[in-house]
Amino acid sequence: MKRRLTALFLYAIFWLLFFFTARAYFILTHFHEAFEFGAGTLLATFTHGIRLDISATAYIFIFPVLLLIPGVWFSGEWYRYFMRWYTWLCILISASIVVSDSVLYKYWGFRMDYTPLLYLKTPKEAAASVSALTMILVLFAVVAITALFIFLYNKFIDKWFSGLERVRLWPAAALFFLLFWGALIIPIRGGVGIAPINAGTVYFNTNLFVNHTAINVVWNVGSSLFNAKPTKNPYVFEDPELALALRDSLTRPGGDVQKVLRQNRPNVLFIILESFGNVLVGPLGGDTLTTPCLNRLAKEGLLFTNFYASGNRTDKAMPAILNGYPAQPAVSIIKEPKKTQSLQGIVGILGNKGYNTSFWYGGEINFANFNSFVISSGFQEIVTMHDFDPVNYNSKWGVHDHVLFDAFRESMNRAIEPFLKVVLTLSSHEPFEIPVPPVFEGKDDLTKFRNSVHYTDSTVGEFIEWAKGTEWWENTLVILLADHCRRNSPDVLVYSEEIFRIPMLWLGGALGVAGVEVDKFGSQVDIPLTLLNQMETEYHFPFAKDLLSEKSNSFAFYTFNEGFAFITDSSRLIYDHKLGKPVISQGSDPEIAEKFGKAYLQVLYDDFLSR
């Protein structure tokens, strides 16, 4: 009995050492951010994070302790062999999570959760975001950490599970381990208090990176996986009726609509630009060199200068753009086909009015449940990488943007009006591979990103210039917009506006204005209502407002992994839900912005759960 308890004690120390090493690995692989803080702050991430380390260790203990209950009757080496293989598997899985998280954090700005596991259905496309060198380094790191801890386990722990004899007082021993097994719930939930432990429990600093460092990423993945489908709204701030009233006051009809279209039944062409952000667009305050075509076209159409993405990923952008449905903080409705099927959207609405609808994307349509979303949206034609000759698969994601637009251009010679077409680009996605010589010199990620955006910008510019000479151009509204932007430096936090401020430009012969700017704050969610009102087609989108209505409210709402932002003409409020308070509160009335933002999120998540 004593040997069993000693073995379990040393086993717990082993896993705490593993998680200590995992946190140190995270700090070292993000040293540019980590070393801005003193040693005391970094050490505090270990002392605060140990609560999640203990919880994760307790989870790992579930099966070993469970087997010890009947194991008191038996002797031999069977338990040692079980523990050996069980531990090796846990080490491999945990090392894979730790290393993958270190890479993903650079792009996402938050610790890894269960989301990447959803992409394992299409591993080739999931791997396309990283270079071959990065993949090699990731595999090397996983193998190295796995080998190191398997060696430590075999050297110092394995022997303690050897030679376990049948316990003489087996009834008492079995009862002891049964109680021990049941008591694991205490460290698992972080104590005996009312509220169970969560990632926010280890937050202790005003800096988000420091708080993220304290999180045990293995625990975070497991917790988010088991809680992937919540049954209760975690964002309840007000009485439901009051929250609904506040939301409705934000989206109430705003009076007369400024008419900018020449006709009520135009063709509509969406061109959704992967990762374009205002920081790259000259007329929107960005640099003047990366998007010369978009800079030039901005003078020809209707430019929305205070426009925001609803979320930070393409899968969060598409329901916002096409269905007027806002992104949710920690989940994505596009991942749940049952829910997306319940959304109304402009594809189905215009399709029912005789529009010919098609979706064009040069990548893998099965990635991140896009296929089910596109199909349920009602597109009559869907073109993906599988519709191209494999000889054109010159990008890790599929075909490059110029190949996509060449094929799209050829198809437009046979276009039947009226039409609604959506084109989603991909070449400006990681790893930023382009089929042309780079314009900007440098090997860093930002320079490679700028080169990829410049390439896509020129491709789109060439298509627009060609389209101006077609017969359908005079009847067409072209909506150029981004899905989101990205973290271009470690200083850009997960909630930073730089990730969410994006361009939207309306062009085309159906547009009756040129060189006009719209300064009202809005987001992708507002597009369906604004467009359909221009077409004098009335539909209700409960989370949207008309950007061209004189008296509609000026605000933008977006979500990130841990909270929301509510931006108005007079205030900027960014709220971290895990921290339980705003991380940015600026302007003349941020308290009012917080109240409206919380109500909007509460009603949104109630709606999400009900679908």
CA distances from 117 to 120, 173, 370 (A): 5, 40, 16
Question: Sorting pLDDT into bands at 50, 70 and 90, what band is 156?
Answer: very high
pLDDT given for residue 529 in this prediction: 97
Q: What are 405's two structure tokens?
A: 């637009």
Average pLDDT over residues 76-98: 96
For 209, phi then psi, to 5°, come to -60, -40
Determine which helix (DSSP H) or strand (DSSP E) holds 381, and give its type and residue range: strand 381-383
CB-count exposure of residue 371 (10 Å: 0-12, 13-18, 19+): middle
C-beta atoms surrounding 547 within 10 Å: 26
Main-chain dihedrals φ then ψ at residue 186, nearest 5 degrees: -70, -55
The rounded distance, in Å, linking the Cα atoms of 539 and 546 is 12
Strand order of the sheet with strand 419-424? 381-383, 356-361, 419-424, 267-273, 476-482, 504-507, 302-304, 516-518
pTM above threshold 0.85: yes
**Angle in degrees, CA 283, 287, 290, rounded to 5:** 100
DSSP class of 344: -
Q: What is the mean pLDDT of residues 505-530?
A: 98
On whether the CB atoms of residues 317 and 309 are closer than 8 A, the answer is yes
Query: 143 with 151: CB under 8 angstroms?
Result: no
CA distance 465 to 426: 21
Domain with CATH 3.30.1120 in the chain: 231-252+553-611
Reference 211, options 51, 30, 45; nearest CA is: 45
pLDDT on residue 189: 93
| Residues paired with residue 511 on neighbouring β-strands, in sequence order | 261
Rounded Cα distance between 44 and 377, Å, is 49
CA distance 51 to 399: 47
Residue 102 in 3-state DSSP? helix
Q: What is the 3-state secondary structure (H, E, C) of 9-24?
A: HHHHHHHHHHHHHHHH
The token pair that represents 368 in the structure block: 């991140």
Residue 10 scores a pLDDT above 80: yes
Order across the sheet with 581-587: list the strands: 555-560, 563-568, 571-576, 581-587
Is the domain spanning 261-342+355-393+422-549 CATH 3.40.720.10? The answer is: yes
Q: What is the pLDDT of residues 426-462, one digit of tens each?
A: 999 988 999 999 999 999 999 999 999 999 999 999 9
Mean pLDDT of 358-386: 89
- Say what the pLDDT of residue 436 is: 96
Instruction: DSSP for 311-327, please give it.
Output: SSSHHHHHHHHHH--PP
Q: What is the pLDDT of residues 226-245, one digit of tens each?
A: 876 667 899 999 999 999 99
pLDDT-based confidence at residue 393 (cuts at 50, 70, 90): confident
431, 129 Cβ separation under 8 angstroms: yes
The predicted structure's pLDDT at residue 194:
66
Nearest to 428 by CA among 459, 406, 450, 408: 450
SS (H, E, C) 140-209: HHHHHHHHHHHHHHHHHHHHHHCCECCCCCHHHHHHHHHHHHHHCHHHHHCCCCCCCCCHHHHCCCCCHH
117-139: pLDDT as tens digits: 767 667 776 677 777 888 899 99
User: Which percentage of the chain shows pLDDT scores above 90?
Assistant: 78
Mean pLDDT value of segment 13-31: 97
HSE of 149 in the Cβ direction (CA atoms, 13 Å)? 28
| 562, pLDDT greater than 90 | no
Output the pLDDT for position 331. Answer: 87
3-state secondary structure of 544: coil
| Residues paired with 507 in a beta bridge | 478
CA–CA dist 97, 112 (Å, integer): 8
Q: How high is the pLDDT of residue 9?
A: 97
In the chain, pLDDT over 70 holds for what percent of residues?
A: 98
Binned at pLDDT 50, 70 and 90, residue 223 comes out as confident
pLDDT, averaged across the chain:
93
| Span 412-417, average pLDDT | 96
In the chain the first and final C-alpha atoms are separated, in Å, by: 53
Dig out the tokens for 395 from the structure: 């990008």
- Maximal C-alpha separation, the chain: 92
In this prediction, residues 527-534 reach a mean pLDDT of: 97
Q: Which of 312, 260, 304, 271 is nearest to 562 (CA)?
A: 312
Of the candidates 167, 171, 205, the one whose C-alpha atom is nearest the C-alpha of residue 45 is: 205
DSSP β-bridge partners for residue 565: 558, 574
* pLDDT number for residue 602: 98
Query: What's the pLDDT score for residue 170?
Result: 80
b (16+ CB within 10 A) / e for 93-130: ebbbbbbbbbbbbeebbbbbbbbeebeeebeebbebbb
* Cβ-contact 576, 563 below 8 angstroms: yes
pLDDT attached to residue 120? 67
Q: What is the predicted pLDDT for the residue at 224?
A: 81
**Is 505 in contact with 297 (CB distance < 8 Å)?**
yes
Nearest to 261, CA basis, from 50, 447, 562, 537? 537
Domain 231-252+553-611 in CATH 3.30.1490? The answer is no
What pairing do the DSSP bridges indicate for beta strands 516-518 and 504-507?
A: unpaired
What letter represents residue 367's amino acid? F
Kindly tell me if the per-residue pLDDT of 366 is higher than 80. no
Distance CA 189, CA 313 (A): 31
The SS3 call for residue 588 is: coil
Delimit the CATH 3.40.720.10 region(s) of the chain: 261-342+355-393+422-549
Better-predicted residue by pLDDT, 6 or 224: 6
Is the pLDDT at 501 greater than 90, yes or no? yes
Closest CA to 583 of 200, 186, 239: 200
Is residue 253 reached through a cis peptide bond, with omega within 30 degrees of 0 on the bond before it? no
Stated length of the chain: 611
